[in-house]
Amino acid sequence: MLSIQEAITFLRAGKIVVIPTETAYGLAADATNAHAVERLLEIKGRDLTKTPPLIAANLAMVEKQVILSDKLRELAHLFWPGPLTIVASPKEGSSLSSAVVREDGTVAIRVTSHLVARTLSEELDVPLVATSANVAGEETCYDILHVQNQFQTRHLQPDFYLDDGVLEKRLPSTIVAEKEGKMVILRQGELVIPESYVA
């Protein structure tokens, strides 16, 4: 049985929670909490310079944190909630931790279509880090047991597991950015962007 309230309590306390998303199980943390983000990356064994993607509850939450051009906003209206990750610059005064900002000054963010993940972000009223819940370099996990098996021998462990059963195996999100007024696909995932939007 899902324990969403427990997961919310852990996330508010800066803990790391394994959550279901529309693409796979993810490691989640409050994206405004630098210590939590850094600990998540240490648990995953990921290079701290490789910033993780974010999920949000809705478009308004995204626009509170990042600058969306007209074209990016149009794509967001077309495909959110869903597996479309947009790369954009944080707004001045954004509450996002610098630990989620890439070297080029951008963040990668999407509005998740998974009800549980969206609820967690909505309840915290902030975006969440949501990188795949696997040890860096290992295979993606679609059930909690697989996640637990990957982390069981590691020194650092997630603090809480939110079990939503076995997830459907799907491709990761499609990642897009706008460069010189045109859309560029940085990673082709499940979602196919219409050619009219792509450089």
CA atoms of 62 and 45, how far apart (whole Å): 27
What's the confidence (pLDDT) of residue 180?
A: 85
Under-50 pLDDT residues of the chain: 1
* Under 8 Å between Cβ of 27 and 130: yes
* Under 8 Å between Cβ of 37 and 44: no
> Nearest CA to 65 among 97, 35, 39?
97
Report yes or no on whether pTM surpasses 0.75: yes
The helix (run of H) or strand (run of E) holding residue 108 is strand 107-111
What's the confidence (pLDDT) of residue 46?
A: 84
Query: For residue range 100-140, what is the model confidence (pLDDT) as tens digits?
Result: 999 999 999 999 999 999 999 999 999 999 999 999 999 99
What's the confidence (pLDDT) of residue 194?
A: 87
What's the confidence (pLDDT) of residue 199?
A: 61
Omega prior to 52 cis, within 30 of 0? no
Q: 19 CB contacts (<8 Å, ≥6 apart)?
A: 7, 25, 26, 28, 116, 117, 120, 128, 130, 133, 162
Q: Where are the alpha helices (DSSP H) in the chain?
A: 4-12, 34-44, 59-65, 70-79, 115-124, 144-151
Burial of 138 (0-12, 13-18, 19+ CB in 10 A): middle
